[in-house]
Structure 1
Amino acid sequence: MPTDPRDEITSVTNPRVKALVALRRRRIRQDQGVTLVEGYEELDLALTAGVRPTELYVCPDLSAGDPRAVEARAAELGAAVFRLSRPAFEKAAYREGPDGWLAVVPDVETDLADLPTTGNPLFVVCGGVEKPGNLGSILRTADAAGVTAVISVDPVTDWGNPNVVRASKGAVFSVPVASCDTAAFLDWLTGRGLTVVATTPDTETYVTGLDLSGPTAVLVGSEKYGLSADLLTHADARAKLPMFGRVDSLNVAVTAAVVTYECVRQRMAADS
């Protein structure tokens, strides 16, 4: 198998191509402690966030140059660089219309106990959120809003899911993420001084009526079932968004964005 970046993998049955395809499966990713990042912008953000890829696959026929020298940066960090022909890369790629950049990187997840809680932290907690696209969108908001970390409670999918990475535009590498079950999360909350706010339509309190300027954990649930009874019970407050139409809820990623930026607004007002 090639180790020199000038060599090119052309066969769609090459062992490296097969290994990349296998990493689409959660069990394989978790067993190896790695995940995939595909796309030039996503890879650039990952490198900027300090990720050290182990392997980089580039397809010259698909990649439109390298203005930020991502390939050189990855190689300097110790990544083995491989060239793939277009058929081989399209076989390995998990998205339609790939741009010729694909890397294997270490698992993105942080242990719950290692999440920072000093200062004035803001956490977004996803209870049973099932769609990778929603988790990715929540991460993009978290990155933009300066959220401390995003926690997935009773996760249905893993943070290394290629569609989470894609939907987050690489923000999964810039925002600390963790996963745990409900019991572990509630235990972690003890003594951390966080105001826990559960979003739910089953309340009369609007999110704008709460003080979200201090250390806060915002809980959002799955679109089908909402938050579990255990999470709702242990919340310090329940809040909803003003809704004036016939639909009684928003997409979970939109809800998370609106509430997160209400937290940001209040914090900025408190600092002014």
Structure 2
Amino acid sequence: MPDLDVLADPSDPAVQRLSDLAKPARGTVRTAIVEDQEPLVQALRAGVRFVEVYGESTREFPGDLAALCAELGVTVRLVEPAVLTKVFRSEKRPKVFGVANIPAPARFSALAEGTGDVLVLDGVKIVGNIGAIVRTAVGLGARGVVLVDSDLPTIADRRVVRASRGHVFSLPVLLETRERVARWLGESGLRVVDVDMDGSLSPESLGALEGDVALLLGAEKTGASDVLQDLAADTVSVPIDSRVESLNVSVVAGIVLYARSRRSA
């Protein structure tokens, strides 16, 4: 591996730019930090354009990541530990990270191009759950994920990228209003299935539903909104022991997606 440029001066303007990016995003942002090796690799493979990728100067830079960056023409630089401390402050600092140009927001048209079920998350706000669901959606062949009332300013939120292991860039993830989603669902032709504690169908019965569907999931405590539930042709629930009040929404999403993935087995 050739010698790499080292960012060593904490007063370097480039360090301040990185520090600004490490702060929580507010308003419109065009670049974001993607941290850790797996999310970086997944984002690069998904076609996300990176300004630069960085590694800690006291550690060996991962060879496969270096090769991928070289293949895609992405500059790699090393960073001294003191600089990383300034950038990430009290946070756990990543061994490798990159500055990515945030892709343009996905639109409903992107969902018309693929196959597979669509997940609609209505009022799901916990970023760890969103990231886990997105990762599961990719793993089990979903077409895309639509986020309603998530409070996220961008899908490139560092926490979501981390929780999804970079797969938030691997399929269309939309940030949309409830009204626009309701209109799209009405026009899409997709059968809407509401995943709810009081559903009449079991997960196993999802395999009998022909064609792609829209799986509607709400927050664990409140469920989906009436506006979107009213569009559902079917309701499904996951039976659980009475000692457990409810299941985490990311767990439920995994169960119903797996049930749907088995329909052609």
How far has the Cα of 1:198 moved from its partner? Answer: 1.1
CA change 1:196–1:91 in 2 (3 A) is farther
Question: In structure 2, what is the equivalent of residue 233 of structure 1?
Answer: 230
Question: In structure 2, what is the equivalent of residue 26 of structure 1?
Answer: 25
Please list, as runs of the form range in 1=range in 2, the aligned pairs for 1:192-207 lying within 5 A after superposition: 192-207=188-203
- 1-side partners of 2:204 and 2:89: how far apart? 41
CA change 1:93–1:108 in 2 (3 A) is farther
Please list, as runs of the form range in 1=range in 2, the aligned pairs for 1:1-272 lying within 5 A after superposition: 6-23=4-21, 24-27=23-26, 31-62=28-59, 64-68=60-64, 70-93=65-88, 97-108=92-103, 110-117=105-112, 120-157=115-152, 158-210=154-206, 211-266=208-263, 268-269=264-265
- 2-side partners of 1:205 and 1:73: how far apart? 46
In structure 1, the residue corresponding to 2:192 is in which secondary structure?
strand
How far has the Cα of 1:94 moved from its partner? Answer: 8.2
The question of whether the paired residues in 1 share the 8 Å contact of 2:192 and 2:213 is answered with yes
Amino acid at match of 2:25: R
Unaligned runs of 5+ in 1: none
- 2-side partners of 1:109 and 1:232: how far apart? 29
- 2-side partners of 1:55 and 1:243: how far apart? 47
Aligned residues: 261
- 2-side partners of 1:95 and 1:106: how far apart? 25
Amino acid at match of 1:154: D
The question of whether the paired residues in 1 share the 8 Å contact of 2:111 and 2:172 is answered with no
In structure 2, the residue corresponding to 1:246 is in which secondary structure?
coil
What is the TM-score when the length of structure 2 is the normalising length? 0.87
In structure 2, the residue corresponding to 1:244 is in which secondary structure?
coil
The question of whether the paired residues in 1 share the 8 Å contact of 2:193 and 2:215 is answered with yes
CA change 1:193–1:118 in 2 (3 A) is farther
User: In the TM superposition, what whole-angstrom CA distance separates every residue of 1:74-110 from its partner, at most 9, and x where no partner exists?
Assistant: 3553434332101212433489554421111122464
Unaligned runs of 5+ in 2: none
User: In the TM superposition, what whole-angstrom CA distance separates every residue of 1:42-63 from its partner, at most 9, and x where no partner exists?
Assistant: 111222222221222222214x
How far has the Cα of 1:71 moved from its partner? Answer: 3.0
What percentage of aligned pairs have identical amino acids? 33
CA change 1:89–1:111 in 2 (3 A) is same
CA RMSD of aligned residues (A): 2.5
In structure 1, the residue corresponding to 2:138 is in which secondary structure?
helix
CA change 1:42–1:122 in 2 (3 A) is same
- 1-side partners of 2:233 and 2:242: how far apart? 28
User: In the TM superposition, what whole-angstrom CA distance separates every residue of 1:153-208 from its partner, at most 9, and x where no partner exists?
Assistant: 12222321111111111111212211100111112223322111111113333233
The question of whether the paired residues in 1 share the 8 Å contact of 2:105 and 2:174 is answered with yes
CA change 1:105–1:238 in 2 (3 A) is same
- Larger displacement relative to structure 2 (100-109 or 214-223): 100-109
The question of whether the paired residues in 2 share the 8 Å contact of 1:109 and 1:176 is answered with no
How far has the Cα of 1:242 moved from its partner? Answer: 1.1
